[in-house]
Chain A
């Protein structure tokens, strides 16, 4: 009698958990891709942990706090590693609606992933889309900050160059007019320009340069 009951229970369980059954989800793990050499073997203990995590997720849903590990059924485990699972209600006759299971898994996806050292790509729940991380947009885009800095530097450099150019030109304009005045004065008074008196340059018709001649006499006593 007991054996009959056992077979009946497993038969019902087998019916509840089947590939493509109602409210069943397929899970796919890529342990070797994620962990390489540190990959662990998928055995019944890992399956127990998985069932515990699913039960934990379901217990967080209001009205489902009494979900036990035995309510989570796994079947069709392949070498891949992939399998199907369903969550049954306490009477073990019906499976919980897919929507509830889906929302529970989505809420606790991070916890489930980290229990197995995997991520959203290596621990896949087919038909449960993962929420993608929203982009972190700073208040002011970074490129505008850098642009502003370089823009200000360039404007300052241009202003400095233009101003110094204007100043140079003003000095050059004043320069030639000063030289003109000096040449006028030379004819009337003896003015010193660059240490050479203008007068000697003017007398003797410019043929003899006094400054040069005196040096010569000093040097060559023949």
Chain B
């Protein structure tokens, strides 16, 4: 009896799964950062790249998956046996990604569990040994930074000092993997249902945050800042490169997850409509999330600016014994001039201690990544009323986003494994999923050591970037030129009953590959030109980040990460070629 391929319960489960995979943490913590760097005019290159690069490549992957009805390895083997290395490379990259991505969910759990306290643990500094003051490291940095670097990560001063595995993050990581296992246990049956939650709940939380954020004091400052277009940035090639990169990675192309999801579709499914829908929803979510983020930024910046002003006012009031309440923000400058003229000697003593408070500089502090999610946002949340509620909502949303992406990542690894007859005949699919989760969890323990965050940064920056560009480039070339664009077009027409629009053909054949080559060349030259790679290490004595060089073994690890996925493509092609030659050599004498 032939095994029937599992299918999505309903078509919308597929759409929701794609949305929850594509809409991930990058929409929340990378896109607002880029908007801050390049101003509101960043939306122009972003939208251009969406139509030129994002939609066509997404459609291509979904179409390949739906047509071949197999995971990434099988699909590319069907296209051409020499290209099954692309599938293997996808699986390897997905494996790296799922190993390091789940630690973010573990941190999300840690913060979520700590949100049920009053006061929030990251809002106050702990006391030092003899209770006369606050902890030194916390005084130098801020309480939110202290909680992140000391209490959550317990970070070591450099990547060389490993420390041991710490039980608190290890427990949270175990829980995160158990949660992922629970969601993927039954394959598409369970993934489809979980996708409803992971796709919809973040929007609910974002809407609540939007309403709350817009009513916060100072939110308009942030929004005005975001939407002021910095027109000169349009001419900056880096803006366009970053837009292309953001679209590329935000949609999760090249990991094999989209192929895996689409392989469970009915062949007659209109994947063109779904591709357009998913990419539009992904981009609008990015814009929506950045509106919320900038409202929160505005609130935080205004709060810090006013605290800074209050500190200056207190300093002047105390030094000159002025009447309490006399100095306000509005008359500060005039009074300063007055004091400088009437009491120049004393003023010159006090002057070096007066900080320059500027709302602009507060808004300019652009942060991305884990720093934005766990430091900047928590700093804003601790100043809101009923901060426990907002904190719980926020970290719950982060977890939903992270879990949704993890579902896609693990699907990319599991689908080729369950497709392969060798493995699936020996083990049931629950056991395969369990094994994959167990192995990933065990390797992920590296990120729970004291130097874990540095290794996380290595994986985050290098594991996927170059390899993905190469993978997607080879994918496009394979479909258009090796398999044949006309043949693929006929396949799609036979499958869905709709003709392929010329726009997609033009994009697939010319524009998108060219764009990827440009990105690839840019990144390679960037890496080569910067020379030694450096990283940011946390200095506990100063309470801030310092730049250090990577040691040799870390550089070797980076090289290994990039090589292990990119080398799959030529190696497997070579292996297939050799095997074909041997087989032909065997059969030749018989014929």
A interface with B by C-beta (< 8 Å) = 28-33, 39, 78-82, 129, 131-132, 134-135, 142-144, 146-147, 150-151, 154-155, 157-158, 161-162, 165, 169, 176
Contact = CB atoms under 8 A, between A and B. Distances in A.
A161 B131 contact: no
Given A78-B321, A129-B132, A132-B127, 17 more contacts: A28-B318, A31-B324, A33-B324, A80-B317, A81-B324, A82-B321, A132-B132, A132-B133, A134-B131, A143-B114, A146-B113, A147-B172, A151-B175, A151-B178, A158-B185, A161-B182, A162-B430
Contacts of B318: 28, 80
A142 B116 contact: yes
Nearest to A80: B321
Contacts of A82: 321
Given A80-B324, A82-B321, A161 B186 contact: yes
B131 A132 contact: yes
A191 B178 CA distance: 49
B499 interface: no
Interface string B454-487: 0000000000000000000000000000000000
A146 B116 contact: yes
Contact of A80 (B117, B127, B182, B322): B322
Contacts of B181: 158
B325 interface: yes
13 contacts: A30-B324, A79-B321, A80-B321, A80-B323, A80-B324, A142-B114, A144-B113, A146-B113, A146-B116, A147-B113, A147-B172, A147-B175, A169-B428
Contacts of A162: 185, 430
Contacts, number: 76
Nearest to A124: B318
Contact of B322 (A79, A143, A161): A79
B179 interface: yes
A166 to B, nearest CB: 8
A152 to B, nearest CB: 11
A75 to B, nearest CB: 14
B350 interface: no
A132 B1 CA distance: 75
Contact of B116 (A29, A143, A165): A143
A84 to B, nearest CB: 12
A165 B317 CA distance: 73
Nearest to A79: B323
The list of the 5 closest CB pairs from A to B, nearest first, reads A32-B325, A143-B113, A79-B323, A78-B321, A80-B321
A151 B173 CA distance: 11
Contacts of A158: 178, 181-182, 185
Interface string B323-349: 111000000000000000000000000
B369 interface: no
Contacts of B317: 80
A162 B185 CA distance: 8
Interface string B159-194: 000000000000110010011011001100010000
Contacts of B267: none
B126 interface: yes
Contacts of A143: 110, 113-114, 116-117
**A interface majority secondary structure:** helix
Contacts of A165: 185-186, 428, 430
Contact of B325 (A33, A151, A169): A33
Given A28-B318, A135-B127, A165-B186, A147 B325 contact: no
B91 to A, nearest CB: 24
B186 to A, nearest CB: 6
Name, among B110, B117, B321, the residue most crowded by chain A CB atoms within 10 Å (CB to CB).
Answer: B321
Nearest to B317: A80
A131 B131 contact: yes
A105 to B, nearest CB: 15
A162 B131 CA distance: 52
Given A32-B324, A129-B132, A176 B127 contact: no
A18 B323 CA distance: 21
A156 B115 CA distance: 25
Contacts of B186: 161, 165
A161 B322 CA distance: 71
A214 B516 CA distance: 69
Contacts of A131: 131-132
Contacts of A135: 126-127
A144 B172 CA distance: 10
A137 to B, nearest CB: 10
Contacts of A132: 127, 131-134
Contact of A176 (B1, B113, B323, B428): B1
Contacts of B117: 142-143
A135 B133 CA distance: 12
B327 to A, nearest CB: 11
A161 B190 contact: yes
Contact of A155 (B113, B116, B132, B178): B178
B177 to A, nearest CB: 10
Contacts of A176: 1
Contacts of A161: 182, 185-186, 190
Contact of B179 (A29, A80, A154): A154
A24 B142 CA distance: 35
B182 A154 contact: yes
Interface in B118-160: 126-127, 131-134
A169 to B, nearest CB: 7
Contacts of A154: 175, 178-179, 182
A129 B126 CA distance: 17
Nearest to B121: A143
A147 B324 contact: no
A176 B186 CA distance: 22
Contacts of A129: 132-133
A88 B1 CA distance: 104
A29 B110 contact: no
A26 to B, nearest CB: 10
A176 B3 CA distance: 13
Contacts of A146: 113, 116
Contacts of A134: 127, 131
Name, among B113, B181, B428, the residue most crowded by chain A CB atoms within 10 Å (CB to CB).
Answer: B113
A144 B322 CA distance: 50
A68 to B, nearest CB: 29
A104 B280 CA distance: 69
A29 B178 CA distance: 56
Nearest to B310: A33
B173 to A, nearest CB: 12
Contacts of B1: 176
A155 B434 CA distance: 13
A142 B186 CA distance: 33
A32 B185 CA distance: 63
Nearest to A32: B325
A146 B1 CA distance: 47
B6 to A, nearest CB: 13
B124 to A, nearest CB: 8
Contacts of B185: 158, 161-162, 165
Nearest to B190: A161
A147 B171 contact: yes
A144 B113 CA distance: 8
Interface string B28-57: 000000000000000000000000000000
